[in-house]
Every structure is written in structure tokens, then in C-alpha cells.
Amino acid sequence: MLEPWRTGIVVQIKEETPLTRRFWIQIPEVESFNFIPGQFVTLDLPIHEKKNKRWRSYSIASSPDGTNVIELVIVFLEGGAGTTYIFNEVKEGSELLLRGPQGVFVLPQTIDRDLFLICTGTGVAPYRSMLHNIKRNKIPHKNVYLIFGTRLFKDCLYYEELRELQNDIEGYVYLPTFSREAEENSSIRKGYVHSVYEEIVSKNKPNAYFYLCGWKNMIDEAKERILALGYDKKDIHLELYG
């Protein structure tokens, strides 16, 4: 059953990178906004007469904590009507019409295989939610690899936080990789996400689930490569951006 439209109030905004902002939204009409990590909400923005041209969906970046506040992380898209409105018009105290939670991009109830959480850009949002949920609820799991690709180190969302979670979640490895970072920065991994999971899999081909979240090009290429590694379509779960 589809959730009703509700009014959310923006209670905090923080600039995370030059083109990315974090938005905390409170939904006053519910005491606790319940969702499964990996789900999204849809915003109805006043940018068009037709409903379906006003709707923009964003993964919830926070994990369920019993409150009625959720966090979204949104990247500005040049020429995008939705993010132009959000970045120029939405302030702390603004009201936003939203519906959710929705979506089935969620972890299995029993995590009985290794997880490869592969993303680009703001595609990291659902994984941040999943990881904090694993930590908070001490959910049993196998190895978890978060493989996060972005162009430059300065665009890396939640870097310190996701790195420090390695101290709290057994078997979790954080593997950011940067496609355009300067050669002289030798302290970080360079390249694209594909070489990272291929290298891990080539060593022992674990039983695994692959989660893909981000831009279409990355997802299409990852699907091909994962199938070529001998995995099945059923092992791949995806959430497309844009």
C-alpha cells in the first residue's frame, strides 16, 4: 500500500561538498518515521504543472532510529529543475511535501553471504543507512565491502564516518576509489570501482550479493562484469540514479 503524502519540515541543512548538501527533514505528523535501510522518499516539488514532472526520489541516508527525522543527501545537477529548486529555494524551516518510504533496495533478512556495496556519488546514501543499522542492531553478517567511486577526494561523502565504522563493524572494509585525483596523491586508491571488486573476487570468489547504486553507466558496466565473473543475475540488486 502506498504511503500518503505528508508535510516535512527542513530542520537543518549542511553543505557537505561544493555541490552536495545534507538535508534533515522532520515529519511532524508521525512520532516515528519507520523505514527499511535502502528505501527512498519522493518529494513533490513546485516546479511543474504535471505531477510526474514534479516528483524527485532520494534514498534515505540516515538509519531508522525511532525518531521522525530523516536525512537526505542531494547533489546539484547543472540544469536540473529539481535540484535547482532545492538548492535555491529550500531553507531551514521550509516545508516539503513527501511520500514514503518506498522501494525494495534492501538487504536480505538473513545476511548469509558477503556483501559488495558498490556506488558512485550520492549512491552511497542507502549504504550509509544499512551500515549504521547493522552496527546499531548488531545484525549478524559476513564480510561487507563498501566500494565508493567518485572523481576527486574532495567529493567523497561521509569519508571519515564510513572509514571509522571499520572499527565498529567486524568484517567491514571501506574502499573509496578516485578516478580523477592528482597523481602525486599516493595515499589513496585511484581508478574506478570495477577493478576493486574484481580484485577481491578473483582471489577466492566468495558467495556474495552485489548491490549497485549510482549512475546508469556504472551500473550497466558492473552488471556485465559481475556476470562475467560467474555470478548470477539473482545475485545483483540495483538502484538507478538519473
Give the chain's domain count: 2
State the pLDDT at residue 185: 61
Q: Are residues 83 and 118 in the same domain?
A: no
Cell readout for 52 is 510526474
Which of 15, 14, 18, 60 lies closest to 153, judged by CA?
A: 18
Residue 66: is it exposed, middle or buried by C-beta count within 10 angstroms (0-12/13-18/19+)? Answer: exposed
Q: What is the pLDDT of residues 117-138, one digit of tens each?
A: 999 999 999 999 999 999 999 9
DSSP helix/strand/coil, 136: helix
Q: What is the pLDDT of residues 154-188, one digit of tens each?
A: 888 999 999 999 999 999 999 999 877 666 666 67
Residue 75 reports pLDDT greater than 90? yes
- The arrangement of strands across the sheet holding 95-102 comes to 55-59, 40-44, 95-102, 5-17, 20-26, 69-75
Q: Are residues 62 and 123 in the same domain?
A: no
- What CATH number corresponds to the domain at position 150? 3.40.50.80
Mean pLDDT rounded to a whole number for the chain? 93
Q: Are residues 73 and 137 in the same domain?
A: no
* pTM for the whole structure: 0.95
Which of 94, 33, 15 lies closest to 69, judged by CA?
A: 33
Q: Are residues 69 and 137 in the same domain?
A: no
Domain that holds residue 98: 5-102
Domain boundary among 102, 136, 170: 102
**CA 236/CA 217 separation, integer angstroms:** 16
Q: What is the pLDDT of residues 19-69, one digit of tens each?
A: 999 999 999 999 999 999 999 999 999 999 998 899 999 999 999 999 999
Which band of pLDDT confidence, cut at 50, 70 and 90, is reported for residue 94? very high
- What CATH number corresponds to the domain at position 49? 2.40.30.10
**CA 62/CA 27 separation, integer angstroms:** 14
Would 44 be classed as within a structural domain? yes
HSE-CB of 215 using CA atoms within 13 angstroms: 10
Strand 40-44 vs strand 95-102: parallel, antiparallel, or unpaired? Answer: antiparallel
